[in-house]
């Protein structure tokens, strides 16, 4: 009678350890393998954050979002994270998409002023009207991949 109980306890302990190890080491979201929770235009997501940031945070943040928009420029000033800017709302704001350095060759292949589809994790909207020196506001997507 004691033996099966010991086996059960050991099995449970191994199971708990396995679960704990996997939880502690769970991987980051793989954007390439994730379905987009929302698909929208870059201008639409920018307007959503510009109009009501809290509501947009609740709706889009932490989710894999696919956006389509006009590529304004590439920003390669930080070699740890190549970035591109999509047109958001004129000069008022943009959608800033950050890529892993491994995606650099694909980023370089993009053509300015072309329409691009990007998938990434929405982090929120950086900048504010009170910080006058910073200029435009950016809706930020990270860990992006290029769809086309």
Partner 1 sequence: MNKKIILFAAITTLGFMAFTNHSGGVYKTNTGNINFFSHTAVEDITADNHKVKTAFDAETGKLQFSVLIKDFEFPKALMQEHFNENYMESTTYPKSTFTGTIDKMSAVNLAKDGTYKSPITGKLTMKDVTKDVSTIATFVVKGGIVNAKATFTVNPTDYHIAIPKTVAAKISNEIKVSVDADYTHVH
Residues near partner 1 (CB under 8 A) are: 23-29, 53-54, 57-58, 61-62, 75, 77-78, 80-81, 83, 96, 98, 123-128, 131-135, 138, 140, 142
Minimum gap (Å) between residue 134 Cβ and partner 1: 5
- Complex with partner 1: residue 90 or 135, whichever CB lies closer: 135
Minimum gap (Å) between residue 97 Cβ and partner 1: 10
Task: Yes or no: say if 117 and 67 are a contact pair by the CB < 8 Å rule.
Answer: yes
Q: What angle do CA 100, 101, 104 make, to 5 degrees?
A: 105
Please state whether beta strands 115-126 and 83-87 pair in parallel, antiparallel, or not at all (unpaired): unpaired
What is each CA distance from 144 to 8, 46, 47, 67, 110, in whole angstroms? Answer: 45, 17, 20, 10, 14
Please state whether beta strands 64-75 and 38-41 pair in parallel, antiparallel, or not at all (unpaired): parallel
- Complex with partner 1: residue 35 or 79, whichever CB lies closer: 79
Matching residue, tokens 């020196």: 133
Minimum gap (Å) between residue 122 Cβ and partner 1: 8
- Complex with partner 1: residue 7 or 112, whichever CB lies closer: 112
Minimum gap (Å) between residue 77 Cβ and partner 1: 5
d(CA 36, CA 139): 17
- Complex with partner 1: residue 9 or 17, whichever CB lies closer: 17
């Amino acid at each position: 009678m004691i033996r099966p109980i010991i086996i059960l306890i050991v099995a449970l302990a191994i199971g708990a350890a396995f679960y704990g190890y996997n939880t502690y080491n769970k991987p980051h979201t793989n954007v390439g393998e994730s379905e987009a929770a929302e698909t929208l235009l870059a201008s639409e997501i920018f307007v959503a954050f510009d109009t009501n940031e809290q509501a947009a945070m609740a709706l889009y943040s932490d989710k894999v979002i696919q956006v389509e928009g006009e590529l304004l420029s590439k920003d390669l000033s930080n070699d740890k994270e190549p970035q591109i800017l999509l047109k958001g709302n004129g000069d008022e704001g943009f959608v800033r998409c950050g890529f892993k350095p491994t995606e650099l060759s694909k980023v370089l292949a993009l053509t300015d002023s072309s329409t691009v589809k990007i998938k990434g994790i929405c982090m929120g909207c950086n900048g504010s009207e009170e910080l006058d020196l910073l200029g435009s506001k950016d809706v930020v997507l990270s860990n992006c991949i290029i769809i086309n």
